Amino acid sequence: MRTCWVIDHPAHFQLFRQWFQPSDILIVTERQELSVMLEDGFSQPTLRVPRVVGSFLQKVTLGRRRQSAAKRFLKQHQVDRIISKGAPFELRAAKGLVVERWYLTDTEVNTAAHRLKSATHILLPESWEGSLKSTHTYPGILPQAYVPLNCKAWESARNQVHQELMIDESQLVVFHRQLIGGGIHDEPELIDYEQAIRKMNVHFVENKESAALADGSAWDLPVRASLFDGVLTGSTTLAAEAVVQGVPTLLISKASRGFLTYLCEQPHFFHWKEADLFDGRFAKMAAEWKLAMHAGRRDRSAVQSETREALIALWGEPFAEDPSVVSGDVQASIQDL
C-alpha cells in the first residue's frame, strides 16, 4: 500500500521510518533537525512544507500554504493512505484524494489540530486523557515502537562516558537537554529551572535542541541519552524515550499528558510540574532521582510494551530492522560528547 508519511517532528521520523517503502512519499516540515535527518539519504519523493508557528494570523497563513502545497503534491503522487501525527493540514489536503487518512496524536493540548483534522482513522494511546474519540488505540507509548527496549547500549558503554569525560566514576553523569521553546505548545509548559539545578551534585552533559545541526546526532539522540546515569530535561519526548529505556529521568515541565500518567507508574520517572522549585519539595524529588540513578547503575530495565506489535497489526510489517537491535557505533556516540 503506497503511503504518504507526514513528518512534523524528529520523533515522527524515528517512529515512521521503519515502515517507509521505496514507493512511498514524504511530506517533511522545514525544521533544521529534520533537514539533518534527511541527509541520511531517502529516495522517496519529498515535499518540504513550512512549520506552523507564530501569531494566530501567521499560523493561518502557513497552514493554508501547507495545505495547498500538499494537495498539489498528492495530485502528482497518488497514494492509498496518508499517515500524520498531530499535523492536520495534509489530511485536509488529502480529502477527496486519499481514501485512508490516519491521524495519530498523544498530545491532548494540541486541540486546534484535533479540530482541523480530516481523518478516516484516529489512533490514540490507551492512556489518552482528552475528549477526542479514537477509531483505534495502542498500548504503551509511541517511543516503545522505535527505541531499543533493552539496555544493550548502556551495558556496552558502562563507565566509558566517565572515562571520556575524565571524571571520577563515583560521580553521577546526567544528559541534560533544555527546550528553547517555539513549539506549538511549548511556551505555557516551560519552567525556568536553571538556577535550581546549579546546586545539584551531578555532572551535566549539555545537549541543546540545536546540537543536531552541529554533530548530526538527531537520529542517535534517544540511544545516546541512555548512555548516562540519568536524564534531566524539559522535553516530554526525550523524557519518554529515556524512561522506556530504563534511564532514571527528571522531567521539569508543566506538561500534562496521558502518556506521562502512564510513565508515572515507573519508579525511575520523576515529573516536577510547578514553577516554584525552592520550597523544599523539589529538592526532595531531586534527591530521590539521584538515589534512582545510583540504583540504576546496579540494575536497569527497559519498560516493555506491545506498542510496535499493535502498529504492525494496523499498518503492516515494517520495511526496516527491529529497533531492539542497537544500530550505530556506541563508541562513536561517546566520543561525540
Given a cut of 70, is residue 183 above it in pLDDT?
no
Q: pLDDT tens-digit profile of 106-142?
A: 999 999 999 999 999 999 999 999 999 999 999 999 9
Q: What is the rounded distance in angstroms from the CA atom of residue 22 to the CA atom of residue 44? A: 6
Q: pLDDT tens-digit profile of 41-78?
A: 899 999 999 999 999 999 999 999 999 999 999 999 99
| Neighbouring residues of 198: CB distance < 8 A, sequence distance ≥ 6 | none
Amino acid at 63: G
What's the pLDDT score for residue 337? 56
Residue among 97, 155, 94 nearest 119 (CA): 94
Domains of the chain as residue ranges with CATH: 3-138 (3.40.50.2000), 152-304 (3.40.50)
Longest dimension (CA), the chain: 62
What's the pLDDT score for residue 332? 47
pTM > 0.85: yes or no: yes
Given a cut of 70, is residue 312 above it in pLDDT?
yes
On average, the pLDDT of the chain sits at: 91
Question: Rounded to 10 degrees, what is the CA torsion of 171, 172, 177, 178?
Answer: -80
Q: What is the rounded distance in angstroms from the CA atom of residue 241 to the CA atom of residue 245? A: 7
CA angle in degrees (0–180, nearest 5) for 250-255-258: 95
| Neighbouring residues of 41: CB distance < 8 A, sequence distance ≥ 6 | none
- Specify the range with the lowest mean pLDDT, choosing from 31-35, 218-222, 263-267: 218-222
